[in-house]
């Protein structure tokens, strides 16, 4: 976990990333990035897109994924991280 400004940003550390990789290796809907902080979606209307790109676009699809019980907690953690990161980046851009 990292604190940036007044916003708490959670991310996967090395141990969590290893655990996530094992879990996601069995779930062919996702591919975790090498740094463990992004996910490639391999299903649905956003197949082939990274969670970070959807978060930057403010896509409601990620909100749906967060509320659906069918997605692993590791993926939801990465989604929350990417949404928070996108909001911080947008705020920085607007402040310039």
Whether residue 14 has pLDDT greater than 90? no
Alpha-carbon span 14 to 27, nearest angstrom? 20
Average pLDDT over residues 78-85: 91
What is the overall mean pLDDT for the chain? Answer: 80
- What is the distance between the alpha carbons of residues 61 and 53, in angstroms, rounded to a whole number? 12
Report the distance separating Cα 40 and Cα 47, nearest Å: 8
Model confidence pLDDT, tens digit, residues 47-75:
999 999 999 998 899 999 999 999 888 88
Tell me the mean pLDDT in the region 10-25.
60
What is the total count of domains within the chain?
A: 1
Print the domain residue range for 51: 2-95
The answer to whether the beta carbons of residues 85 and 9 sit under 8 Å apart is yes
């Amino acid at each position: 976990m990292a604190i940036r400004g007044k916003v708490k940003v959670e991310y996967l550390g090395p141990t969590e990333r290893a655990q996530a990789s094992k879990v996601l290796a069995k779930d062919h809907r996702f591919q975790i990035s090498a740094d463990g902080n992004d996910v490639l979606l391999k299903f649905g209307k956003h197949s082939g897109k990274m969670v970070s790109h959807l978060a930057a676009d403010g896509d409601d699809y990620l909100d749906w994924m967060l509320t659906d019980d069918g997605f692993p907690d590791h993926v939801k953690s990465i989604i929350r991280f990417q949404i928070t990161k996108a909001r911080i980046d947008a705020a920085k851009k607007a402040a310039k």
